[in-house]
Amino acid sequence: AYKRFSELLPKEERENAYSARVPKSQILTLPELRANPFQHRICHVFSTSETGDDSMSFEDFLDMLSVFSDSATSDIKSHYAFRIFDFDNDGILDRKDLEHLVNCLTGQGEESQLSGAEMEQLIQNILEESDIDKDGTINLSEFQHVVSRSPDFARCGGLQR
């Protein structure tokens, strides 16, 4: 992990990789993130940058790798998946988050974008399946309940396409 992290830094900074921050633009060059529709959210969620530039320290990088590793528990994976899908960072998945999530998964090109009616039906189906307390949103425990019933989520972490 340290070798991969330090290789993202300019040569002159590699000696001090433990204290360096890798810019988001470099993190996005990783093959695991390059084609991920949530690449920007992943950087945002794992970055501890105080400037909001989504750069990563070595510890941030380790946290990200550990969550995506096969040995991470389903609870940990679902916790971070929830944070990644919570686009407005308000602690719930509301209709706007779900619409953004669907657009990320289907692509935002004209040919792949859902119609308004299709989007509304899909969001309604997601809420019917997931919104246990029927408040129109999905909280972390509701999200974890739904993903606990999905063997594919536990296997791949729910974030790979």
User: Are residues 55 and 102 located together in one domain of the fold?
Assistant: no
User: Are residues 38 and 96 located together in one domain of the fold?
Assistant: no
pLDDT bin (cut points 50, 70, 90) of residue 161 is very low
User: Are residues 16 and 41 located together in one domain of the fold?
Assistant: yes
Rounded distance between C-alpha atoms, residue 127 and residue 102, angstroms = 13
pLDDT digits (tens, 9 = 90+) for 32-82: 999 999 999 999 999 999 999 999 999 999 999 999 999 999 999 999 999
User: Are residues 40 and 59 located together in one domain of the fold?
Assistant: yes
Answer with the one of 24, 44, 68 that is the final residue of a domain.
68
- CATH number, domain of 108, equals 1.10.238.10
Q: Which domain range does residue 26 map to?
A: 1-68
Domain count, the chain: 2
Question: Within 10 A of 79 (CB to CB), how many other CB atoms are there?
Answer: 16
Lowest mean pLDDT among 59-68, 93-102, 107-116: 107-116
Structure tokens at 111: 């040919």
Whole-structure pTM value: 0.88
* Residue 141: its H or E element: helix 140-148
pLDDT digits (tens, 9 = 90+) for 12-24: 999 999 999 999 9
Give residue 125's Cα distance to chain centre: 22
Burial of 4 (0-12, 13-18, 19+ CB in 10 A): exposed
